[in-house]
Structure 1
Amino acid sequence: MADRKFALGTFNAGIAPFPGIVIDDTVYDARQVVPHLTVATLLADWEASLPALTAAAARPVGGGISLSGLRVLPPVTPPGQLFAAGANYRQHVIQMAVAHKLGAEGADPEQLAAAAAAEIDERKKHGEPYVWSGIPSSISGAYDDVILPGGWDDHDWELELGVVIGRRARHVPVADALDYVAGYTICNDLTTRSLVPRKDIPMMGTDWMRAKNFPTFFPTGPFLVPATFVPDPLNLRIQLRLNGETMQDSNTGDMIFGPAELISYISRFAELRPGDMVITGSPPGNGSHWGRYLQPGDVMECEIDGLGVQRTRCIAEAD
């Protein structure tokens, strides 16, 4: 008999945050079955925690709480380190090359697209992922407001699959890398486009710290779905809707480097720890493609197969 599907999250009923087991629309206090006060500490002992959670999901104990009566916090609270892959969806890279005319001078759109595709194929065969690090304090909940800082008008969306680590990882082979995954979640990696280039010091190229790490710029969740319930992370539909209109609609199979390759690559240079999150790049359909950026009052809905839906409203930053 298959295990009963469940998810994990961090919730608040008005007293203090607690780790919860989510079954359908009901949340059960995970502290009744595992001796951990947070999802972060639960992940630190994931090898022992997962069997206990699985058994608890099969026969929930204690009274559950309706999800609608709880505040939903980022699933891993407090959050761990954040690593992010850039330029990691084939069609997105091609789309950006055409939109920004990244290629030979005078090339037409078809030529730019063909050149970008050839470059991607070469990079996949012989190159490496591009990974940068984010700031955990910028992570917010799946239903929290996104605060748009004043002074810029090109805040963009980037829906991504989040991979949450369940074991310490260092020098991990690609073939073993998915064994280090506790589960998967949704993350929307927001970017203020005009802050990416450093025109004052062009030799330094891009500045991801200032472009991507404003407070609330990483809405995450609503849940962490254990990896055992995600048989193929490279076959998930991924969609973002802005005010009900579909802007991104793709499949995670379009990644250039999958979660296993990203984990292996990162672990060569840094130590991944339980609770860390690797976000895996965004599919085509960003605001820079549509020529339409986020404005106060906008509502984003982000959905990935089997991982739930996050819904965030954009508001202006208070003076």
Structure 2
Amino acid sequence: MRLANLAGRAVLLQDGRALDVERASDGRFGPDPMTPWADWAAFTEWAAGVDYANAEGYDESDLGAPIPFPRQVFAIGLNYKDHADEAEMAYPENIVVFTKYQSSLAGPTAEVKVPGETLDWEAELVVVVGEQIHDVDEDAAQAAIAGYSVGQDFSERTVQRRPPAPQFSLGKSFPAFGPFGPAVVTPNEIEDPANLSITCVIEGPTGLAQSNGAGAWTAQDGNTKDMIFSSARILSDLSKVVTLYPGDIVFTGTPAGVGMPQGIALQPGDVVTTTIEGLGALRNPMV
């Protein structure tokens, strides 16, 4: 199942078409994209037998954040060995956690206003929680995963690093700094979430400059198998402190290739395409 938000309505995507949830369920589930998370188990049971005959074509520009108003948004830092290496930092023994504020969430084609001269990119796997959990082990955490999505953790590094103490959450929460989608993809649709290619390609002025005029520059080319903490470990560790709720989302960290260590930043005219194998892609213009 691929659950998405099309022009503010919950839909299921299949083969380039969208099925409206409210209409297909005869009103059992409402049109609000948050409705499925009120009873995820019942929703998935219904969706498993749904008929896509009435699905229709759609415009990708109408896709919004699949979960526009999660209760909680978590993000994990330094979760890929090669990214820790490029940051010249030791591999963490415990998860490094911050948040991206809810207002930073956006859809897969959202425009991003460049707020300064140090705008960076971070391609990330997003994990979505499907049931309420607290203080659970990794097996229970794995069972609580509703699905996965593609995320981009845009970061304004000057704000993030300004004194007297780092402002991670503020530097990463300008409008549209947390695009994700195009859908929440359930685990049964993915062969191995722990072995997915993840890339970030930049076109425009930055892409031209870094590709010697070729036009598109692959800034990041990684794989989720290189994560230090697995998705289940992350949810389990989070649950030792907080209660996780259905629809909560977790940005799980980024592989090597971000701009800051290279002295490279995004600028207006750039287009950032973030792709994860089997999950889809985001394509976000910088304005």
Give TM-score, length-normalised by structure 2: 0.90
- State the partner residue of 1:112: none
Cα separation, 1, equivalents of 2:224 and 2:117: 29
Shift of 1:231: 3.6
Q: Is the 8 A contact 2:150 2:182 kept in 1?
A: yes
Q: Which amino acid aligns with 2:131?
A: R
- State the partner residue of 2:11: 20
Shift of 1:36: 3.0
Name the SS of the counterpart of 1:269 in structure 2. coil
Shift of 1:268: 1.2
Equivalent positions of 1:100-119 (< 5 A) are 119=90
- Residue by residue over 1:20-76, the C-alpha shift from the partner in whole angstroms, topping out at 9 and shown as x without a partner, is 0100100010112242332322022111111211211xx324x32212276111011
- State the partner residue of 2:179: 219
Equivalent positions of 1:1-319 (< 5 A) are 6-12=1-7, 17-31=8-22, 32-33=24-25, 34-56=28-50, 59-61=51-53, 63-68=54-59, 71-97=62-88, 119-120=90-91, 123=92, 127-149=93-115, 152-199=116-163, 201=164, 205-243=165-203, 244-315=216-287
Q: Which amino acid aligns with 1:192?
A: E
Alignment: residue pair count:
272
Q: Which amino acid aligns with 1:67?
A: Y
CA RMSD of aligned residues (A): 1.5
Shift of 1:77: 2.7
Cα separation, 2, equivalents of 1:306 and 1:288: 28
Query: Where does structure 1 differ by over 4 angstroms across 4 or more consecutive aligned residues?
Result: none
Q: Which amino acid aligns with 2:283?
A: R
Cα separation, 2, equivalents of 1:87 and 1:35: 39
Identity %: 32
Q: Is the 8 A contact 2:119 2:157 kept in 1?
A: yes
Q: 1:173 to 1:289 in 2, by over 3 A?
A: same
Unaligned runs of 5+ in 2: 204-215
Name the SS of the counterpart of 1:9 in structure 2. strand
Q: Which amino acid aligns with 2:6?
A: F
Q: Which amino acid aligns with 1:131?
A: V
Higher helix content, 1 or 2: 1
- State the partner residue of 1:101: none
Cα separation, 2, equivalents of 1:210 and 1:30: 35
Shift of 1:232: 2.1
